[in-house]
Structure 1
């Protein structure tokens, strides 16, 4: 990762977590920022299957997940497992920042 990309991601992480006191609040902060900024719907592939990402959700165990739809089926996929299309949707930098923070890098 380039230095300028890292600086940009660090700025997003700081913005999402500015008023957070614990991990739970940080996850909620990222959920809010991704929900507000990610342009949905968009199409992508989840292990060999074409899906449409219609939004993001916060699970009971405090994970931010993508809501993926195919036909009448809906599945929630962890953001760490979600592949983004090329070019990525507007606002996907928030997913990158969330992944970066989750990895602790």
Structure 2
């Protein structure tokens, strides 16, 4: 699955590397300009309340959760990062974007 591609130039966000050593962009400036989502993620107690009446429960283990949904081509330039090697843009919704969990 290709979730990041090399572009060579663009408006740029610096990357940060958490202790766990994974690549992530610092999208705080972008998040400040992002409108808040009208539909929030359900709270755990509310979700558990709905589970009381279910007949089947499934366990799923998602790998690379935040890189599952594709980004719109018009949004990709906003998802650019720069590192010592070159400049890249995410082609999928990365971790760190304000509404990433809601998209997943």
Asked if TM exceeds 0.5, the reply is no
Bigger radius of gyration among the two: 2
**TM (normalized to structure 2)?**
0.30
**TM (normalized to structure 1)?**
0.30
Higher RCO, 1 vs 2 (CA within 8 Å, ≥6 residues apart) = 2
* Richer in strand (by share): 1
